[in-house]
Every structure is written in C-alpha cells, then in structure tokens.
C-alpha cells in the first residue's frame, strides 16, 4: 500500500500566506519564530522536504494539522475537511486576537464535532 507524501508546494504556499498575514515577516523571522534554520525554508522553496522535526515545528507555527499537507498517491489530501471547517479555520487564523495554538485547538474541536455529526447523520 502506497504511503501519503508531503505536498511541499502546498506546505510552502501555506507558510508564505501565513508569513504575509502576520505582517509581511521575513523568511528569517519565520525561521526564528518557528525554531528552524533559515536553510530549511530555503530548501522548501526549492521543493525539498524538511526533516520531521522541522516539519513539526513549522506545522505548529502555522497552526494547521499536518494532515493538510499529506497527499495519497491519488493526489487527494489524506484528510478531507468540510467547507464549513475550512472557512471557520481560515477565520480563526485571521483573527489577530487569537494566537495560532488557540486557533488550532478550536479548529480541532470543530473538526471533531463535525465528524461526530456526520457519523450520527449516517446512523
């Protein structure tokens, strides 16, 4: 069975969007805030995959689930979010009064609630 792979382009694009949303941070500032080397971000821009620890640190900095950037060989995301959860997650990330970790926690709660509602609807 083929394993999911990291969509480096989507990951880098998400980092770039977040970098701009946080006030046009430099890539060096992103590296410092996330606790990774600036060379990691340079390699990502060139399409290279980060090491696991750097990936974890950058996903944490983004405030998004790692699964958002994993693709099955079919090209599909490994986790499918509903349009509702994606819209709410986007609003939470854009809220300047909410830190990324809190936005991520609220998004995870919403996703869990949506999965439960879907299961109940199927029963």
How far is residue 20 CA from its own chain's centroid? 15
**Position 76 confidence tier, pLDDT thresholds 50, 70, 90:** low
Q: How far are the Cα atoms of 72, 74, 80 from residue 3, in angstroms, in the given order?
A: 7, 11, 16
Q: Where in the chain are the domains?
A: 1-79, 81-123
**Position 54 confidence tier, pLDDT thresholds 50, 70, 90:** very high
Mean pLDDT within 18-34: 93
Cβ-count burial 11-24 (b if 16+ within 10 Å, e if not): bbebbeebbeeeee
SS3 letters across the chain:
CCCCEECHHHHHHHHHHHHHHCCCCCHHHHHHHHCCCHHHHHHHHCCCCCCHHHHHHHHHHHCCCHHHHEECCCCCECCCCCHHHHHHHHHHHHCCCCCHHHHHHHHHHHHHHHHHHHHHHHC
pLDDT at 10 over 70: yes
* Residue 71 near residue 7 (C-beta atoms within 8 A): yes
pLDDT, residue 71, reads 79
pLDDT, residue 52, reads 94
* CATH top-level class of 1-79: mainly alpha
pTM here is 0.60
């Amino acid at each position: 069975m083929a394993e999911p792979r990291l969509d480096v382009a989507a990951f880098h694009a998400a980092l770039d969007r977040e970098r701009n949303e946080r006030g046009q941070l430099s890539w060096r500032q992103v590296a410092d805030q996330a606790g990774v080397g600036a060379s990691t971000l340079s390699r990502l821009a060139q399409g290279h995959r980060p090491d696991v620890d750097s990936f974890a640190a950058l996903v944490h900095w983004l405030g998004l689930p790692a699964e958002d950037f994993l693709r099955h060989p079919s090209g599909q995301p490994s986790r499918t979010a509903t349009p509702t959860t994606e819209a709410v997650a986007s609003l939470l990330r854009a809220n300047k009064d909410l830190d990324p970790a809190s936005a991520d926690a609220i998004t995870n709660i919403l996703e869990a609630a949506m999965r439960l509602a879907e299961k109940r609807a199927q029963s």
